[in-house]
Structure 1
Amino acid sequence: MQHITFGPKYRIKNNYIFPNNLLTNVLSLAAKIVFIFSYTYCVYFGSTYAERISQPITFLDFLRFYDCLFYCIGFALTFVIQVTQGKNSILFVLLFQEVHRFLNNKISIKQTVSSIWIVVILTSLFVPVYFIVFCVLVNFPFYFIIPSHFLAAFDFNMVYATQVMKLLTNKVDLWVSQVKYGDKLESRHRGDYWRKLFQTYVDIMKCYDIHNNCYRAF
C-alpha cells in the first residue's frame, strides 16, 4: 500500500529489510511534486470552469483554495515523514516481529489479517469509482479524474495506519490473555516467562510510540 502512494518507508528484498536508497527518495519526491502540481491544476480548472459558466465566486471557492493549500502541505509532509522516519519504520517492523514470535495466535492473527485485506481491497475499489462518478455527475472532463485520484494517497495512509493499529491491538489482547495464564505457562519457559512477557509489553509500547510519530500528522 505504501508503494501505491509512492511513499515507501523501507524496502524488503529476499526477506531482508533495507532503508530507502537515494533513487527511491528521488522518485518519491518527483511523485509528490507531480501530485502537488496536478491537484493545483484541478483547483485552477475548477475556478476557471465556474467562471466559464458565469457563476460568481462564493465561499465554496475560498474553501477550494484552502483545501488546495492543505493538501499540498500534506503531500510535502508525507515525503518529509518518509525520509525522517525511515529508520523508525524499520525499527517498528523488527520490534513487531519480536512481539509476533512470542504472541502468535494463528487463528486470531489470520482473522485480523483477513479483515485488513478486505478493508484494503474495498478501499482500492471504492476510491476510483467515487471519483469517476463524481466527475460524471458534475460534468467535469475525464482528465480531471486522474489528478483527483492523487488525493486517495491520504485515504490509503489512513487505512494503513488504522490497520496497523488493529494489529497492535490484537497483540495487546493476546498479551492480556497471556498474563491471565502466566502461572500455568511459566514452567514451559523455564522460569523466564515473566521477563519475556514484560519485554514484549515494552516492545508493544515502543511500536505504539513509533506508529504515533509516523502517522500523527494524518
Structure 2
Amino acid sequence: MAAGQGTRLGAAQPKAFVALAGVSLLEHAVRRALEADEVSHIVVVAPASHLSEAGAIASRSARPADVDVVPGGAERTQSVAAGLAALRPEDGIVLVHDAARSLAPPSLYSRLVHEVRSGHPAVVPGLPVTDTIKQVDARGVVVSTPDRSSLRAVQTPQAFLREVLQHAHATGADATDDAALVEAVGGHVRVVPGEPLAFKITTPDDLALAERHLSDR
C-alpha cells in the first residue's frame, strides 16, 4: 500500500515517495518483498497523482514483469480493494503490506506465507506491548487497564488466503487493518512474532531511526 498521504511526516509528497538513504520508502519495500522466494507478484497501490513515479520504481525492480501498479482510493480499505482487483489468477495467498514499513525483512514475508500454507487462513505479525495501556472515555478518564501480556502491536505484511480476504472486503466495511475485517466476519486470525525492523515510518523521528538502521548495516 503506497496510497497514503502521510501528513504526519511533514513531507511535500505522499509518504511512500519520501527518500530514505536516497531511495524512496516504496522502492525499499518492493526490493525487500522481491527478495523473498515466496513472493511471485506485487501490486503497488499508489496515489493517482504518482502513478508514473510508482511505475518507474516497478520498471527498475529486480523482476519488473512481476510488479503491477494501480491507483488507490480515498481510504485504505478502498486501496486494498483496488489491489485485490489486480491480482492474477494464480495468486492464492495475499500479503497486504504498507510501504511505510519499508524495512520489513524478506524472512518475515516467507514466515507468513509458510503459516498460511500450514493451515492458518489469516496471519499477522505482532510484537509484545511493553507500555502499560489505558483505555479512556471521551473525557479522558481511565475506564480500564488491559493486561498487557495479552496485547500485541500488530504490523504488516499481513497474510491471507485470497478468498478469505476477498470475502472480508465484500462486506464493504472499513478498518485500519485487514485482519480486523476478517475478524468482523468471524474469521480466525493468528498472530505470530513480528520483526523490530518492520516498524512504521510515520514521523521525522521514525525516518531518522530508519536512516540509522541502514547506516549501521
TM-score by length of 2: 0.26
Question: Higher helix share goes to which structure?
Answer: 1
- Greater RCO (CA < 8 Å, at least 6 residues apart): 1
